[in-house]
Amino acid sequence: MSRIFAIATKEIRQLRRDRLTFGMIVGIPVMQMLLFGYAINFDVRGLSAGVVDEARTSMSRALVADMQASGVVKVTEHAASIGELRRSLRSGDVSIGVYIPADFERRRLIGDRPLAQLLVDGSEPTIENIARAFVAMPLPQRDGVYGNSARQVFEVRTEYNPEKRTAVQVVPALIGVILTMTMTMFTAVAIVRERERGNLELLITTPASSLELMLGKLVPYVFIGLIQTTLVLLLGVLLFHVPINGNLFAFYFAALLFIAATLTLGLIASTVAETQMQAFQMSVFVLLPSILLSGFIFPFDGMPQVARWIAQLLPLTHFVELVRGIVLRGAGLAELQVPIYKLLAFTAVALTVVTLRFHKRLD
């Protein structure tokens, strides 16, 4: 027992000296509790909505006001036509479109047809189910405005995924999850591996600058990332019949930006970690919030504001927006400029941090 106790004491002291591992012991459960208890919210509120009101009556405005009063949607755009509303859906500016036709009052009085139409972005998970709650939700009546409360107020039309298949929503964004996991892990151990194998001294003696060394580290993994992207996309098309509605050049351009961003994120971890085990731990520390906060599983609009701010620091958040916009909604790069600029800015900042942290000396 004394020998076992001596070895256990040695192990505890070693863990105490390994501050990064000790921090993970506390940080990972705390992060999971905060993510699942605070950031992840199935009771979605404040979905961005666009409205086209061709009736322009007091009752049509009351209908929109009742929708906002539910807290489920937040009207962020008033479009002039149904075409403009569809463009906003395609670019991802809104998740739900409300179309009130010009014969709204006639429909309200006769009661033979739905009063209005909901256009739902079917490329995002759970949005369609949330929108359908408006169909069954009894809206407040104002002196018999809506007639029979059991009537269908909205007709729901699911855009970009009319068959409501989960694979269509998941597979394109899954490309980003796989790349986050593999690219971050590959580069997280890049510098640490060189140090443990004794190759770092050889790199230091080369005439290449710190920036050139970092870029040289990234180039092989860029091609690996593109191969993985192509493989997952092909499997999604062949096995799950995921449609590709957008331009392939735009898709690969977005994938290239995301690969560069995740690789630089892994290099930051590599400059912090002292061992390969620490590098893998930091990769896991990045992967979990990326999956939960990026909109891959849970609607981004349903998260608290603080969680959205954190999500903006994760490359996967912007790639999910890009890949769903290009592959499923058929959006062009001009319509998705904001996530593109965010990925470019992240890569530039991360590469600058890595270059400043890596010095060509053994200490």
In this prediction, residues 207-236 reach a mean pLDDT of: 84
Q: How confident is the model at residue 99 (pLDDT cuts 50, 70, 90)?
A: very high
Q: How confident is the model at residue 269 (pLDDT cuts 50, 70, 90)?
A: confident
Contact 289, 310 (CB under 8 A): yes
Place of tokens 């061992």: 275
The answer to whether residue 208 scores a pLDDT higher than 90 is no
Beta partners for 118? 98, 156
The answer to whether residue 40 scores a pLDDT higher than 50 is yes
Q: How confident is the model at residue 233 (pLDDT cuts 50, 70, 90)?
A: very high
In this prediction, residues 71-76 reach a mean pLDDT of: 86
* More reliable by pLDDT, 48 or 146: 48
Q: Which two tokens mark 241?
A: 């019949």
Q: pLDDT digits over 121-161, tens only?
A: 888 877 887 887 777 655 545 554 444 455 678 888 888 98
Task: Tell me the three state secondary structure of residue 75.
Answer: strand
- Write down the pLDDT at residue 226: 93
R_g (Cα) of the chain, nearest Å: 25
CA 284 to the chain's CA centroid: 17
User: Exposure string (b/e) for 198-221, b if CB count within 10 Å is 16 or more?
Assistant: eebeebeeeeeeeeebbbebbeeb
- Write down the pLDDT at residue 145: 47
User: Exposure string (b/e) for 54-78, b if CB count within 10 Å is 16 or more?
Assistant: ebeeeebeebbebbeeeebbebeee
Sorted by sequence, the CB contacts under 8 Å of residue 280 that are 6+ apart come out as 185, 188, 189
Q: What is the mean pLDDT of the chain?
A: 81
Domain ranges for the chain: 47-159, 165-357
Q: In degrees, to the nearest 5, what angle opens at C-alpha 173 toward C-alphas 167 and 178? A: 105
- Residue 353, φ and ψ in degrees, nearest 5: -65, -45
- Write down the pLDDT at residue 176: 92
- Write down the pLDDT at residue 35: 66
Q: Cα–Cα distance between 357 and 183 in angstroms, integer?
A: 20
Q: Is 160 left (phi over 0), alpha (psi -120 to 50) or beta?
A: left
In this prediction, residues 212-240 reach a mean pLDDT of: 87
Q: Which two tokens mark 109?
A: 């009085």
Q: Which two tokens mark 48?
A: 């961005």
Please choose, from the candidates 215, 294, 326, the residue with its C-alpha nearest in 3D space to the C-alpha of residue 260.
215
The answer to whether residue 23 scores a pLDDT higher than 70 is no
* More reliable by pLDDT, 198 or 106: 106
Q: Cα–Cα distance between 321 and 326 in angstroms, integer?
A: 9
- Write down the pLDDT at residue 26: 67
Please choose, from the candidates 164, 196, 161, the residue with its C-alpha nearest in 3D space to the C-alpha of residue 328.
161
Contact 344, 257 (CB under 8 A): yes
Handedness of CA 239, 243, 247, 253 (dihedral sign): negative
In this prediction, residues 156-181 reach a mean pLDDT of: 89
The alpha-helical segments, DSSP class H, found in the chain are 2-17, 19-34, 58-69, 82-91, 104-110, 127-136, 166-188, 190-197, 200-205, 210-240, 248-272, 276-293, 305-311, 315-323, 337-357
User: What's the whole-model pTM score?
Assistant: 0.82
The answer to whether residue 56 scores a pLDDT higher than 50 is yes
- Write down the pLDDT at residue 326: 94
CATH class of 47-159: alpha beta
Place of tokens 């739902």: 120
The answer to whether residue 81 scores a pLDDT higher than 80 is yes
Task: Report the 10 Å Cβ neighbour count for 284.
Answer: 14
Q: pLDDT digits over 283-334, tens only?
A: 877 888 888 888 888 777 777 788 888 889 999 999 999 999 999 999 999 9
* More reliable by pLDDT, 200 or 363: 200
Query: What percent of the chain has a predicted confidence (pLDDT) above 90?
Result: 26
Handedness of CA 18, 20, 23, 24 (dihedral sign): negative
Q: How confident is the model at residue 1 (pLDDT cuts 50, 70, 90)?
A: confident
Q: pLDDT digits over 243-262, tens only?
A: 999 999 999 999 999 999 99
Q: Is 194 left (phi over 0), alpha (psi -120 to 50) or beta?
A: alpha
Task: Tell me the three state secondary structure of residue 13.
Answer: helix
Contact 342, 256 (CB under 8 A): no
Please choose, from the candidates 241, 239, 219, 221, the residue with its C-alpha nearest in 3D space to the C-alpha of residue 229.
221
- Write down the pLDDT at residue 147: 47
Q: pLDDT digits over 328-352, tens only?
A: 999 999 999 999 999 999 999 988 8
The answer to whether residue 95 scores a pLDDT higher than 80 is yes
- Write down the pLDDT at residue 344: 95
